[in-house]
Structure 1
Amino acid sequence: MSADFIAHADGRFLLAGRETRCSVGRSGVIAGGDKREGDGFSPAGTWPMRRVFYRPDRLEAPKTLLPLIALTPEDGWCDAPDDPLYNRWVKLPYAASHEKLWLEDHVYDVIVELGYNDDPPVSPLGSAIFLHLARPDWGPTAGCIAVTLEDMLEILRLSARGSEIEIRL
């Protein structure tokens, strides 16, 4: 089975038979098994699309067959390698190191959780690998894949349980 969507290290993204653009990690793309927490690499491999988080104050619930979760200011993601909830969605305040999912900028207005290092999470192979929205200047991510809102909404319309994204070197 081939992936439904393909992100290339050079910033090309294959979406429904057409090529568009994406941002990858600030350090580039690395083999999934070589990824480490905080290294700035996007992990190469084919990753299931688990669920979608979105900002209900900024957009309507996206049309998708993936599980949908409306974000609140109390949502976060644990990135502390020694914590039992490493690479898991958490509610804030949370004592261990974490990333806030409710951001002032728009990059996390829609987030697709990718199934990287989650079954089960292994410390310190990396956490919070998402498909999210790109910055206006197409700046790199911390290890995620980023696309425009228009492309994200199309990706979600075409996605269902079992959909996957491949990240290629």
Structure 2
Amino acid sequence: MLADRFCFPCALGKTGLTVNKREGDGATSILVTRPLYGFYRADREAKPRSRLAFRPLHRAMGWCDAPDHPSYNQQVRLPFSTSHEEMWRQDALYDLIVVLDINISVRKKGRGSALFMHVARPGYLPTEGCIALSKPDFRQLLTGLSPNTRIQIGR
């Protein structure tokens, strides 16, 4: 992953890279995007030093991944009756999250949801389509991120 002057090893989607992202395909989109804002687990992490806006996660946070729902690819409040991802996780993957502008500014049904930058599993095991970095690299990257940063994925 390349973000402005930073280049870091990262984990990508379990089915590789794609230019034709589809909901649930396990792939990471090949594109240039930008970070929008972030979340952090205040019970585990200090608020990151960053020019991005960061808010603490809470237990009632989810992210809708149901393409036919009006809240598709948006944060939702739990309980939520339609398909969604829970943001408050037992593992450390979502201790730090950056929401990327992938299918958000221009939202298209079925083109992917919850495509975040988050903490990598040990050994950089593949993701469901997100970009995952080690926590030290992520923290370093956050100090240089702003809404104007361009993040290149693939190529």
Q: Secondary structure at the match of 1:77?
A: strand
Aligned equivalent of 1:4: none
For residues 109-120 of structure 1, the aligned pairs below 5 Å read 109-120=95-106
Query: Which one of the candidate residues 155, 161, 164 is aligned to 2:141?
Result: 155
For 1:48 and 1:146, locate their aligned partners in 2 and report how far apart those are by CA, in whole Å. 15
Deviations 1:118-139 (A, max 9, x none): 1231110111111000001311
Deviations 1:113-169 (A, max 9, x none): 000011231110111111000001311000000001111111110011212211114
For residues 15-34 of structure 1, the aligned pairs below 5 Å read 16-17=5-6, 19-31=7-19, 34=20
Residues 160 and 124 of structure 1, relative CA distance in 2, 3 Å threshold:
same
1:100 has 2:86 as partner: yes
Residues 67 and 14 of structure 1, relative CA distance in 2, 3 Å threshold:
closer
Aligned equivalent of 2:126: 140
Q: Secondary structure at the match of 2:66?
A: coil
Structure 1: runs of 5 or more not aligned:
1-6, 8-12
Q: Are the counterparts in 2 of residues 15 and 155 from structure 1 also a CA contact under 8 Å?
A: no
Aligned equivalent of 2:114: 128
Q: Secondary structure at the match of 1:50?
A: strand
Letter aligned with residue 39 of structure 1: D
How many residues end up aligned between the 2 structures?
155
Deviations 1:75-126 (A, max 9, x none): 1100000000000011111111000011000010000000001123111011
For 2:3 and 2:33, locate their aligned partners in 1 and report how far apart those are by CA, in whole Å. 15
**Identical pairs, percent:** 38
Deviation at 1:69, TM superposition (A): 1.0
Letter aligned with residue 25 of structure 1: G
Letter aligned with residue 164 of structure 1: R
Letter aligned with residue 126 of structure 1: G
For 2:103 and 2:4, locate their aligned partners in 1 and report how far apart those are by CA, in whole Å. 24
Deviation at 1:16, TM superposition (A): 3.7
Deviations 1:42-96 (A, max 9, x none): 0110111000111000010000010111000111100000000000011111111
For 1:38 and 1:48, locate their aligned partners in 2 and report how far apart those are by CA, in whole Å. 22
How high is the TM-score relative to the length of structure 1? Answer: 0.87
1:67 has 2:53 as partner: yes
Q: Secondary structure at the match of 2:99?
A: strand
Letter aligned with residue 50 of structure 1: L
Q: Are the counterparts in 2 of residues 117 and 125 from structure 1 also a CA contact under 8 Å?
A: yes
Q: Are the counterparts in 2 of residues 23 and 146 from structure 1 also a CA contact under 8 Å?
A: yes
Q: Secondary structure at the match of 1:87?
A: coil
For 2:43 and 2:109, locate their aligned partners in 1 and report how far apart those are by CA, in whole Å. 34
Letter aligned with residue 128 of structure 1: A
Deviation at 1:15, TM superposition (A): 7.4
